[in-house]
Amino acid sequence: MSTKQIQQPEKQAQANGSVTRVPSLDLQAQFAGIRDEVMAAITRVMESQHFILGSEVASLEKEIADFVDCNFAVGCASGSDALLLALMAFDIGPGDEVITTPFTFGATAGSILRLGARVVFVDIQAETYNLDPEKLEAAITPRTRAIMPVHLFGLPADMSSILEIARRHNLPVIEDAAQAIGAKYRGKSTGGLGDVGCFSFFPSKNLGAAGDGGMVVTNDSRIAERVKILRHHGSPKKYQYELLGMNSRLDALQAAILRVKLKYLPEWTAARQRNARRYGSLFSEYGIANIAQLPKSPDDYAHVYNQYVIRTPERDGLKTALARKEIMTEIYYPSPLHVQPAFLSPSYQNGDFPNAESACEQVLALPVYPELTEGQQRLVVENIAAFLVPKQLSREGARNA
C-alpha cells in the first residue's frame, strides 16, 4: 500500500462513488426494500384487531421451527425472556448453578440470577470468543444444573465438545443463539443443537422485529408445552394457574413483520457473508490482515456475522479516528460480566478470565449489514489502514532501534 493511499483515504473514497460516511447499521435501507410487504402485514393485523398471540404468532412459530429444523418453537416477548423461560422450564432456581461465559450481553447471566441461581463463568477461546470446552468440565459441580453456551457474533460455539461433556454429566444445554439465527454447526442449525435454543428479534439482529421479540425452540414436546404455559402467566386455561409464570407473549404485529423478514433472511445472510469475505480481501489488499485479527470461522461452521469483529491493541484510538471520518463502529463488549456491578461475586476478580478480559480491551465491530456497499467497505478499510499502518511502522522502528 502506498503512502499516498494511507494518507488520503477520502480521495480514494471519492473515486469509489463519493462515499463519505458509513453507519454501523442501516435499518432504513433494509425497510426501503420491503416496505410494501411490511405495511401490508401491519394493516392485516390492524384490521384483524387481534394483537396478542393468535394466528400470526402461531404461523411464525411454525416457520421458525421449520427454518431451524426443530419440532417446536414458542414465541415470547424478548430474547432475554427466551433465556429466562428456558431456565424456568428446567425448574432452575435457588441453590442451582448454571455455566456460561463472561464475554456476552448481560441478559445471558441476568436470566440465571433472576431465578436465584448462581452464575458460573468459564473463559472463552481467544480466536472464536465462544466458551472454551477445554475449561468447561472443571467448572461442573454437584450443583450444576445446566450449561448455557453463547453463539457469539453469529459464530456457533464448539457444540460437539460441549454436548459430549453435558451428556456425560446429564446436564441440559440451553443455547443462547440470540445473535446466530441461520448459523450452522457441521450442517445443523444453531438453536437445535442442544436441548433448547433461544433467539432474539431485537431490531439490530439479523432477523429483527420493529421492537422486542424472542423465540424458544426445542425438539422436546414437554419443554415446549411448559414454555407456552410459563409465558402466559403459568396458565394453560383462562384463570387456571399451574405454574408460577410471567407475561411474555409475542405481539401479533411483531410476528407479522418477522414473517415478512424471515423470507429474506437467507438472502441477507448471504450478503453478510459476502461482506465478511470482502473485508478479508480488502484487509489483505491494504496489507493489514496481519495487523488486526480478523474473525475466524472453521470450515464446517457457517458464520452469519451479526457482528464482524476485528481485534487490535489500538482499538480505542482506532474507534475514535474512524468516528471522526463518520465511520461508525461498536464495542461488543467493553467489560466482562464477572467484574460488572450487577454480577459481582466474591468468587471472581480481575484476571480470572484472561481471554475474555483481553477481548474486552481489543475488539471492535465494523459495519457488516447486508446493504453495505463495496465503496463503503473500502472506505472503512482505507481509514483503518491509515490509522494502523503508521503505528505498526513506528513499533517496528522502535524495536529495530
**What's residue 344's pLDDT?**
78
| pLDDT reading at 72 higher than 60 | yes
Q: Please, are residues 117 and 94 in contact by the beta-carbon 8 Å criterion? A: yes
| pLDDT reading at 330 higher than 90 | yes
| pLDDT reading at 12 higher than 60 | no
pLDDT digits (tens, 9 = 90+) for 138-177: 999 999 999 999 999 999 999 999 999 999 999 999 999 9
| pLDDT reading at 398 higher than 80 | no
Confidence category of residue 343, pLDDT binned at 50, 70, 90: confident
**What's residue 345's pLDDT?**
78
Q: First vs last Cα of the chain: how many Å apart?
A: 24
**R_g over Cα of the chain:** 22
Q: What's this model's pTM, rounded to 2 decimal places?
A: 0.92
**What's residue 9's pLDDT?**
47
Confidence category of residue 17, pLDDT binned at 50, 70, 90: low
Can you point out the beta strands (E) in 169-250?
174-176, 184-185, 188-189, 196-200, 214-218
**What's residue 391's pLDDT?**
75
- DSSP letter string over 164-176? HHHHHTT--BEEE
Average of per-residue pLDDT across 28-41: 96
Q: Which three cell numbers stand for residue 41?
A: 402485514
pLDDT digits (tens, 9 = 90+) for 363-389: 999 999 999 999 999 999 999 999 999
Contacting residues for 121 by C-beta, under 8 A, at least 6 apart: 99, 100, 101, 102, 109, 139, 337, 338, 348, 352, 353
Question: What are the structural domains, with CATH classification, of the chain?
Answer: 32-262 (3.40.640.10), 264-329+367-394 (3.90.1150.10)
| pLDDT reading at 246 higher than 60 | yes
Average pLDDT, the chain: 93
Cβ of 163: how many Cβ atoms within 10 Å?
18
**What's residue 15's pLDDT?**
44
Choose the weakest-confidence range: 198-207, 229-238, 251-260.
229-238
Q: Which three cell numbers stand for residue 393?
A: 511502522
| pLDDT reading at 210 higher than 80 | yes
